[in-house]
Structure formats: C-alpha cells, structure tokens
A = this chain, B = another copy of it.
Amino acid sequence: MLYEFPMDSQLSKLLEFLRFPSISTDSAYADDVKHCAQWLTRQLQGIGLEAQLHSTPGHPIVTAKNEHKAGRRTVLIYGHYDVQPVDPLSLWTHPPFEPHIENDTIFARGATDNKGQIMAHILGVQEALTRGALPVNLIFLIEGEEECGSTHLEEFLVTHREELRCDIVAVSDTGMVGRGIPTLTYGLRGIAALELKVTGPTTDLHSGIYGGAVANPVTMLTRLLATLHDDSGHVTVEGFYDDVKPIEDWERKAWASLPLHDEELIRLTGAPRLFGEAGYTSFERTWARPTAEINGIGGGYQGLGTKTVLPSEAFAKLTFRLVPDQRSHAVIEKVKTHLQKHVSPAVRLEITGGHNGEPYLTNPHSGFGKAAQLALQKTFGRDVALIREGGSIPIVQNFKNTLGAETLLLGLALPDCRAHAPNENFPIENFRAGIRLNQVLLEELGHVG
C-alpha cells in the first residue's frame, strides 16, 4: 500500500488496530472481536502498563493501569474497541477494514468511533511514559460492546468497583464543533423508548365493504401521533417540560458564537430547511431541549400499487431524547397517560417499553473541567468551545452512580467524520492532536487540588 506521506510507528499502530473487523453486534465476528481485544491487551502491556483481558458472557473488557501511588489523582480513560456494522458496503469507496489514507485523512470503519480516539489516548500515555512516570494514577477501561448496548459493562463496574474507583473519567467519543476547534462536551441527552401498537379489526378488511363503519387503525395511529406536537414543534404531552433545566445565559451566548451554522446543517443533512421547537436555535434544540421522535412506523399494505384494505393494525416506534433534569421513567409515564387519553376508543392501544438512559450534565467550570479546558487550549492553541451534545452515552451516568466520578468528554470527531456510516474517517491531524492532548491532560488533571 502506498501512502502520500511518511508512515511512522504511531500511525502504523492505528492502522493495525483498524484492520480488525471487530463488529460487536454480529456474532459472526465474535472471533475478530476477541482477537482485537487480545491485540489491544498486548499493546497496553507493551507500553509498560499492567493490562488484563476480562472475559464476559459477551465480548471481553480490557483494563490497564500504571503503578498507583497514594496522594495522586486517579484518572479513568474509557473507550471501546468494537465498531458498527459496515452495511451498506456498496457505499464504501474503499474496503472498510483496509485502512486507506487520502487527503491526510484515514478512512476505515472505527477510524473515528472509537479506535482512532482511544489509540490517541494510549499513544499519548506511551509518549508520557518515555519521559518518566505519569503524574496520575491511570486506569484504562476499554470495552467491546459499546455499539451493541454495553450489555455487560454496568455489572463489570459494580463487581470491579474498588479497582476502578477514580476521581475523574475521560472519554473521547464525542465531537469537535469544527476543524481545529478544541471542544469540551459537558452535557448529553438521555433517551426513553416506547413502541405503540394500535389494533382494530381481527384481520385486514375490504375497505369498500367496511370503510366508513369501522375505525382504521392506521388513521387512528396517525391521529394519535399527531397529538404529540403542536404546529410550532413543542411537545404537547402534559408536564413534558416540567423538569427541563432552562438553558443558562452563558450557554446561549457561548453557543451563539460557534462557527457551525444552520447553512452547514442543511448541507450536511440534505433537508429542505431546518425545523424545530419555536424560540430556540439549532444548537439549543439538539443539545438542551427534549424531543419526541418517531423512528419507525408501519401498517397495512406496503408493496407496489394499491391494495384496498382497512388494515387490522399499525405500529410506531418512538424515542424521546431527554435533557437535565428529566428522568426517563417519569417521562415515559407522562407519555403513556397522554397516549391513553388521546387514543380513539374505537381501536385498542398497546404500549411496550424499550431501553432508556438518563441525561447527563456536569460543570465545565469545576476543577477538573478547568483542567480539561486548559489542556485543550494548550493543545490546539485556541479558545475552547463548551458544548453539550444531542446523543446519549448512558454509561457516563453509570460512572457517576457506581464510581462516583464525573466525566470529561473530550471528543475529536469532526461533523463529517461519518461515524456509523459508510466512509467513516478521521483526520491524521486530529489523531496527532489527540496524542498531544492526552499528555497535557494528564499533567493538568494531576494538578487539580
């Protein structure tokens, strides 16, 4: 393979990591996931850490630590070595597990999410170790099930609570607001999922014979779903916004000054225009306001042409993105009450629950928050953007509950890194910055009083 620029050992190491097809959700790749975990364990041992591979009923968890000394801060760096599936494969310009470098950017599944970012942490630690002992007690916790629900991590946190106890967690699995702009994420949305099934007649009916005298479950489902919002995008479930923490003035100001604009969002998504809750900007809508989203709907005839049925049932899959201080169970109860109140009595409604996770908010101006800002500022030589993100990383809430530690989110992904999509990529510049950042970060965290 020819590269446009000189390879070095750090880049080679990342490319080696990217060649494992460690797709966790598909059991056909279970051996690849395991080999990847074994390789990773050897790398961590190779840089001088005490590393261990822990089997679970699912994919292995890898941990590593330096020699811990009393009187120092303990920092846990969390990441994952598993990756998303690659379909649709046909949309990849190059094979997803044969890393390709073009325009100083690495293209491969996992390049940004999360192999590139966790490898930057590991190599940063290696650099620091070549110059002497680390300034902190360090723990690496790298799982292999992040892309399929972190099924066994929560239990692992509980059973290994003592070994994993720490003062602060650092995670690089979020994004930067733009190229070269250091970004600290201090909030994440939570999630609550529901599935609705509306049933009417026992079987599909002839819409000519019965249409007009029997309620249509698809019609009744659409009428029910249409009660979730008003015309200006507000969610109309009673009490939905009760626990929503208002956006602080400093947040509004900070976000208004960010260089990612609505025109860019339109270009990235291809939507004809942006739309959301009246009275809020796009950042406010996606980072600090809850949503009610229909992820899927189905009912009746879906084939080609016309089939004149009055369908017997219809379903919808809903998720609600939650923000501080909403709680998933309380929101689910309010939504259920709303749906049961608004559904037509001419059909039956079944509601089943799905997964959920709580929103997260930490103080970016705490001691650790300031240390992270300083490390980012020194690494990139620019002012740090303080943002929240719209996605959910439920494990962050577990770190708080089980280990008692807050989490610093120092992501290095760019808006067009295409995580979870074909042609996932990671700029080499961000990989190098991550290696530098990690060294400065451990220094700064070591100084927090």
Which residues of chain A have a CB within 8 Å of any CB of chain B?
A: 25-26, 84-85, 87-88, 91, 148-149, 175, 189, 191, 193, 195, 200-216, 218-219, 221-223, 225-226, 228-229, 265, 269-277, 282, 285-286, 289, 291, 293-312, 314, 316-317, 319, 321, 344-348, 354-355, 389-392, 415, 418-423
B272 touches A422 (CB 8 A): no
A286 touches B25 (CB 8 A): no
> Which residue in chain B gives the minimum CB-CB distance to A280?
B212
A354 touches B282 (CB 8 A): no
A391 touches B306 (CB 8 A): no
B219 touches A294 (CB 8 A): yes
> Which residue in chain B gives the minimum CB-CB distance to A199?
B272
Task: Give the distance to chain B from A270, nearest Cβ to Cβ, in Å.
Answer: 3
> Which residue in chain B gives the minimum CB-CB distance to A25?
B305
B204 touches A420 (CB 8 A): yes
Additional A-B contact list (15), CB under 8 Å, known A149-B306, A202-B270 = A148-B306, A191-B208, A200-B271, A203-B423, A204-B422, A207-B321, A209-B389, A211-B291, A214-B276, A222-B294, A270-B312, A275-B346, A294-B311, A295-B310, A305-B354
> Which residue in chain B gives the minimum CB-CB distance to A201?
B269
A219 touches B213 (CB 8 A): no
A420 touches B309 (CB 8 A): yes
Task: Give the distance to chain B from A226, nearest Cβ to Cβ, in Å.
Answer: 4
B91, B275, B285: which contacts A344 (Cβ < 8 A)? B275
B226 touches A222 (CB 8 A): yes
> Once bound together, how far apart are the Cα atoms of A321 and B212, in whole Å?
9
Take A208-B321, A213-B274, A307-B85 as given contacts and tell me if A223 and B218 are in contact as well, using a CB distance cutoff of 8 Å. Answer: no
A214 touches B275 (CB 8 A): yes
Within 8 Å CB of A270, what residues of B?
201-203, 312
> Once bound together, how far apart are the Cα atoms of A221 and B297, in whole Å?
10
> Once bound together, how far apart are the Cα atoms of A185 and B202, in whole Å?
27
Task: Give the distance to chain B from A352, nearest Cβ to Cβ, in Å.
Answer: 11
Take A189-B208, A222-B294 as given contacts and tell me if A422 and B214 are in contact as well, using a CB distance cutoff of 8 Å. Answer: no
> Which residue in chain B gives the minimum CB-CB distance to A292?
B219
B355 touches A297 (CB 8 A): no
B296 touches A297 (CB 8 A): no
> Once bound together, how far apart are the Cα atoms of A302 and B317, in whole Å?
8
B286 touches A205 (CB 8 A): no
A285 touches B202 (CB 8 A): no
Task: Give the distance to chain B from A309, nearest Cβ to Cβ, in Å.
Answer: 5
A295 touches B286 (CB 8 A): no
Q: List 5 A-B contacts (CB under 8 A).
A: A206-B420, A215-B275, A222-B222, A295-B301, A297-B297
